[in-house]
Homo-oligomer: A and B are copies of this chain.
Amino acid sequence: MIQQVPHLQSLFSNYLSSHQFDQAPVGLYEPINYILSLGGKRIRPVLLLMGCNLFNDEIENALPASYAVEIFHNFSLLHDDIMDEAPLRRGQPTVHIKYNQSTGILSGDVMLVYAYEYLLQVGSSNIKNIIKIFNKVAIEVCEGQQYDMDFETRSNVSIAEYLKMIEQKTAVLLAGSLKMGALIGGATEEDANHLYEFGRNIGIAFQLQDDILDTFGDPEKFGKRVGGDIVQNKKTFLVIKALEIGNELKRAELNMLMNNTPQDEELKIEKVKSIFNELQVREKSEELMESYLIKAFEYLDKVKVEESRKEPLRNLSNQLMGREV
């Protein structure tokens, strides 16, 4: 549960529950209800509602669009899981495992269409603008996934390329959700763009933090296996930075570790972590994360509404970054 905005979360959950996919053919629609029921924090729809609420006390209007972004997000998870051959999602079997791959592809496809169907329900005169923002985000999410896959087989990924990839794959959907919500709530284009930049910078900071926690997190608090990225040889910021600043010996050592399937995974994790520690890439990642957070809040400052209305967004951001509020 997101402590800051339980009322928005439950407003959204109620909307989702009353808009299940109960039509025929069951083979197409049951997997959609399944993946939507796996939960998650519903951050994107909540951000969309918060973007609206910043400018407007009436947020019911924004519910269909908030559902659209949650459907889109789950569509992209569903198809990504097929591409990544992932067996589990939030501890449950992925759709292509529980049903089959064709179902996964086709149910995902129709989800994307339904995202537009819900977007169309936005009772706003600038519906065309809203759909344009959604399209731009959706295209960037696909491009980000492509870059992510491309990077798997490339050894020379730069920091700039990595940051662009996580921006597209993760941050723009958060940013777009805030912007669409703001416009539905009646924001000016300028304020909506400030919120977009707030979301984009916060999103990059989240992802950098996720990379750090995956390697250095507390196993009791972190939901996934600590060190998972290292075992899977994922080219996170930590790896790319280490390859950028390490001397020839360190680079060779890290490349060797990442190109071999180890007999002892824990030993591999330890060895990679010790290279990270020597090169202080965790600290460098935290510095960069901080700079994105600062930029994010600068954009939030620029939004022309009473400061008190911004508190929930500030608090939510801090909570999601694991900071006490």
Contact surface of A with B, Cβ cutoff 8 Å: 24-25, 27-28, 79, 82-83, 101-102, 105-106, 108-110, 112-114, 116-117, 120, 127-128, 131-132, 135, 138-139, 142-143, 145-147, 149-150
Contacts and interface: CB of A to CB of B under 8 A. Distances in A.
A110 B142 contact: yes
Nearest to A132: B120
Nearest to A129: B120
27 contacts: A25-B143, A25-B146, A25-B147, A25-B150, A27-B146, A79-B106, A79-B109, A82-B102, A82-B105, A83-B106, A102-B149, A105-B105, A106-B149, A108-B109, A110-B138, A110-B139, A110-B142, A112-B113, A113-B138, A113-B142, A114-B139, A116-B131, A117-B139, A120-B128, A120-B131, A120-B132, A120-B135
Given A27-B150, A112-B113, A120-B132, 5 more contacts: A25-B147, A83-B106, A105-B105, A113-B138, A127-B128
Contacts of A114: 139
This chain: copies in complex: 2
A114 B142 CA distance: 11
A72 to B, nearest CB: 10
Nearest to A122: B128
A27 B120 contact: no
A108 B114 CA distance: 16
A171 to B, nearest CB: 17
Contacts of A120: 128, 131-132, 135
A132 B116 CA distance: 9
Contacts of A117: 135, 139
A147 B128 CA distance: 33
Nearest to A149: B102
Given A79-B105, A79-B106, A83-B106, A113 B135 contact: yes
